Amino acid sequence: MQNIIYVMSKKKIVILPKTKRILTGMGENIKLARLRRKLSSEQVAERANISRPTLIAIEKGSPGASMGSYLIVLQVLGLEKDFLLVAKDDELGRKLQDAEISTRKRAPRRKDL
């Protein structure tokens, strides 16, 4: 079963189960970090200048919450440097580079059907 969310432009985004598990785990980690600091959801939401429902969505790993919102919550928790670890060790990219396989700098233009 695929999870589908709709963004403001009404485009469908398919979230694969593996990706959903990663987001859910990240949300749980953010919630645990907040609880370890003994901060209420109201305090973190206020400090991050987001609504409490947005914070709850982040802690549930919602793909609809913006990356910026995730980063601001991490900043409030003092974990913003963790964001720099995303895609830091690009093992596949390094293998492709080492194999001298040419990759396009940009994705090809998408043709509407």
Q: What is the pLDDT of residue 56?
A: 97
Q: What is the pLDDT of residue 11?
A: 74
Q: Is residue 45 part of a domain?
A: yes
* Pick from 30, 102, 40: nearest CA to 61: 30
Chain-centroid distance of CA 19 in Å reads 10
The DSSP symbol for 61 reads T
Distance, in Å, from the CA atom of 8 to the CA atom of 44, rounded to the nearest integer, reads 26
Q: What is the pLDDT of residue 94?
A: 82
Model pTM above 0.75? no
The label of the residue with tokens 């919550």 reads 73
Q: How many residues does the chain have?
A: 113
CATH number of the domain that 94 lies in?
A: 1.10.260.40
Q: What is the pLDDT of residue 65?
A: 92
Domain around 65: 23-98
Distance, in Å, from the CA atom of 34 to the CA atom of 41, rounded to the nearest integer, reads 8
Q: What is the pLDDT of residue 1?
A: 45
113 residues of the chain, pLDDT tens digit each: 456 555 555 677 788 999 999 999 999 999 999 999 999 999 999 999 999 999 999 999 999 999 999 999 999 999 999 888 888 888 888 888 888 765 567 777 777 76
